[in-house]
Amino acid sequence: MPVSLTNSRLIYDSLKACNIRLLSALPETWLVHLIRMAEDDPEVALVRLAKEEEGVGISAGAHLAGVKSAMLMQNHGFLASINGIVSLAHLYKIPLVMLISYRGEFGERDPWQTQGGGVTESLLQTLGIPYRFLEHPDHVATRIGKAQALAESALKPVALLLCRDLMWEE
Amino acid sequence: MLRIEALQAIYPRLEQCVVVTIMGAVSAELQSLGHRPNFFYLQHAMGLASSMGLGIALARPELQVVVLDGDGSVLMNLGGLTTLARYQPRNLVHVVFDNESLLSVGGFPTATSTGSDLAGIARASGVPRVASVTDLEPFAVSFAEALAADQLTTIVAKVEARGPAVFLTDLPLLENRFQFQRYLKEAKGTERSER
């Protein structure tokens, strides 16, 4: 499976460097290494979800309780989380760091991913969620650090879109 | 049993707990008994009160967390029961007030009115302790036992579909949120051992 182990490690280490100690996740292909790294890490609580929207509640609880967290999801998981994002994270000014695998973009070969890919950015914009791409190893650590800084200072959700060029080795 | 009576019965014990409630009648009735800084009322995001409770319980295992949920909310996040059961935080008591209706929005019946059994679903999800009660005294006993059990417990309490006359309170959402966060920041974590 050509998911980049090297770049997954870079992302994971960058999250750890931000003191993130709780990760909620629902698996998808691009996230497999990240989830396994969390499984093997006694310093991080991995919460496996039935549906991504639960992660909004879990991250909200963790934030109010003083623990930094992040969410790993596919862009369809982001779609499934929107009510929680609006009616919990936005309503109550809760920081969320959402790492969203950006399926359905240029290079996508799975037809079933293409519809979600086409609406991901416009929905982030509509929701007023600041986002950046993670597409090259050089900026992964700084963008994750800056995303978390903004989430914490603005008390709002931010998104990092995990792009094919970073996650997939062909 | 009336939900307000059930809340009155456990109110003194809630002083030592971190409490997350759902919106609507549960929130308004608990506030009518007296707001405390350790109470958070999730006034929207139906279904996510239990997920918030899980997040707090995992982040702060030294604190006793109580989620006051409802049948309509649980039905919106049934998968969340399996996540609770998966992690089984010992410091979480999950109370589900089941009035078999969406009382706050017109009283339309939920699926528990036609036989869906939330206690059975919780049990089958893997929640290690599940109680199902219909009367006040057994409810109070179940709640006290759950606090003492040191094991994730779901209590499904059947209550009448009657609520408060008004749902609005004078506590702004964000005041509640920041006060609650401040409480958690300063909470020492002796609450569980001393309860």
Closest CA to A116 of A130, A124, A126, A105: A105
Write down the ipTM of this complex. 0.97
Q: How confident is the model at residue A49 (pLDDT cuts 50, 70, 90)?
A: very high
Gyration radius of chain B over CA positions: 15
Shortest alpha-carbon distance between residue A106 and chain B (Å): 33
Exposure string of B8-42, with b = 16+ CB inside 10 Å and e = fewer, is: bbbeebbebbbbbbbbbbbbbbbbeeeebebbbbb
What are the two backbone dihedrals, phi and then psi, of residue B15, each rounded to the nearest 5 degrees?
Answer: -60, -30
Lowest-pLDDT choice from A19-28, A40-49, B102-111, B143-152: B102-111
pLDDT in tens, A65-115: 999 999 999 999 999 999 999 999 999 999 999 999 999 999 999 999 999
Q: Give me the helices (H) in A41-103, please.
A: 53-64, 75-80, 82-84
Tokens of A65: 């309780």
| Spatial contact of A73 and B71, defined as CB atoms under 8 Å apart | no
Closest CA to A161 of A125, A110, A111: A125
B3-14 helix and B136-149 helix, angle to the nearest 10 degrees? 30
Residues of B in contact with A88 (CB under 8 A): 42, 44-45, 48, 52
> What is the model's pTM?
0.96
The whole-angstrom separation of Cα A97 and Cα B45 is 18
- How do A22-25 and A69-74 pair as beta strands? parallel
Tokens of A74: 């596919």
| Spatial contact of B20 and B66, defined as CB atoms under 8 Å apart | yes
| CB pair distance less than 8 Å for A58 and B45 | no
pLDDT at A169 over 50: yes
Mean pLDDT of B29-54: 97
Residues of B in contact with A45 (CB under 8 A): 58
Shortest alpha-carbon distance between residue A119 and chain B (Å): 23
Q: Give me the helices (H) in B77-135, please.
A: 78-87, 118-125
Q: How confident is the model at residue B101 (pLDDT cuts 50, 70, 90)?
A: very high
Tokens of B111: 């699926």
The closest CB to that of B180, out of A53, A58, A64, belongs to: A64
CB-based contacts of B175, cutoff 8 Å, min separation 6: none
CA A83, B65, B6, B79 torsion-angle sign: positive
pLDDT at B102 over 70: yes
